[in-house]
Amino acid sequence: MLTLLKLLKDGRFHSGEALGAALGISRSAVWKQLQHLEAELNLPIHKVRGRGYQLASPLVFLNAEDIVLHAASLPWPVHIFDSIDSTNAEALRLVDANCAAPFIVLAEQQTAGRGRRGRKWVSPFAQNIYYSVVLRIEGGLRQLEGLSLVVGLAVMQALRDAGVQGAALKWPNDVLVGQKKIAGILLELVGDPADICHVVLGIGINVNMQKAVDVDQQWTSVQLETGIPINRNYLVAQLSLRLQGYLHKHMTLGFAGLQEEWEQNHAWQGRAVSLIAGVNRIEGVVLGVDHQGALRLSVDGAEKIYSGGELSLRLRDDS
């Protein structure tokens, strides 16, 4: 089916006869594959008698050569997959197979994409960026302090570079435009963080997605915000360069050196929020983050510090 899709990617009309000849199959077999494409990948295809078949909009597939063309100084190898369970899961498998870090894993589609707290990450085919980069960390817990927040800064700046000027951060791992989510971050660690470990920086960005029925929260995409389709290879390249730069700053200065920049770009700085921790709900006002990336809240007039992977921050209704 993907071979057929690549023949249609230019967004022009192709006759069933020409498609069948290119694939070595009958016109009826072409028709069946087109039906599968629409059903499984949710890609609308126009069918016009006498003209043939046309994708509703052209597709630009992820391509390692194009990415390197836009980021010539990037030293990270790029692994691209048509469809996998998740880029983070594949990255961890490559670590187990002794693939030397750092490296990038990308996919056109995830069948089991994951967000924080076990949430599903909706991953339509060839529309968004599903991206993981693996880092090898040697002997220093300090290198992990505030790391997810540093990744957030890189994602936010790459989105602003792409024209999404309203992109801002939400503690700990989201990028928003207004109240709508445009990107999320999921970090996973394997090994001994006090000795040698690998950390996977998983990033999902809504790029050209324009509708999705399975997303359970407000969302937006780069195309919805800018009004134009985005070349994902260019955005991957810019993201990687931004990430490389911020990771270097983090290694040199620690998160303390980026703390002020993060707070200046926190969408909910100074806002009244509810912090959800399991069945507990804490009401407070956001003061910022500390030098390790933990959330600072004013609770009943006193400053409290919160960190942990199972925390969820929400705006209070009265804020």
Calpha distance 53→75 (Å, rounded): 40
In the annotation, is 160 catalytic? no
Sequential DSSP letters for 183-206: EEEEEEEEE-TTSEEEEEEEEEE-
Give the burial string for 258-279 (b: 16+ CB within 10 Å, else e): bbeebbebbbbbeeebebeeee
Among 116, 170, 232, 242, the active-site one is 116
Among 12, 136, 314, 316, the active-site one is 314
In the annotation, is 181 catalytic? yes
CB atoms within 10 A of CB 56: 9
In the annotation, is 27 catalytic? no
Calpha distance 51→144 (Å, rounded): 56
Q: Contact 176/265 with Cβ under 8 angstroms?
A: no
Strands of 174-177's sheet, edge to edge? 78-84, 103-110, 129-138, 196-205, 180-191, 174-177, 167-170
Q: How many CA atoms lie within 13 A of 140 on its CB side?
A: 11
Q: How far is CA 94 from the centre of its chain?
A: 19
Using CA atoms, how far residue 298 sits from 172, 276, 284, 289, 303, in Å, is 17, 15, 5, 12, 5
Calpha distance 202→89 (Å, rounded): 10
* The two three-digit tokens of residue 199, written as one number: 């950390």
Sequential DSSP letters for 125-163: TTTSEEEEEEEEEES-GGGGTTHHHHHHHHHHHHHHHTT
Among 114, 181, 232, 242, the active-site one is 181
Q: Which residues are catalytic?
A: 116, 181, 314
